[in-house]
Amino acid sequence: MDFVDYFYKAISSPIASAIGFVLFLCLVYVSVDFIRKGLKK
């Protein structure tokens, strides 16, 4: 599946956009948590 095509479909669909936004926040949270754990070591 083409990522750009999927991205435009996600923007055009409010529900898909909301789900994508939540997944993005989860990804950011995990990344920040991973970086913090890495810096502590």
Q: Give domain limits for the chain.
A: 3-40
pLDDT for the residue numbered 11: 72
AA identity, residue 16? A
Whose structure tokens read 């970086």?
35
Mean pLDDT by 10-residue block, N- to C-terminus, for the chain (41 residues)?
76 81 95 92 71
pLDDT for the residue numbered 1: 59
Q: How far apart are CA 23 and CA 13, in angstroms?
A: 15
pLDDT for the residue numbered 4: 84
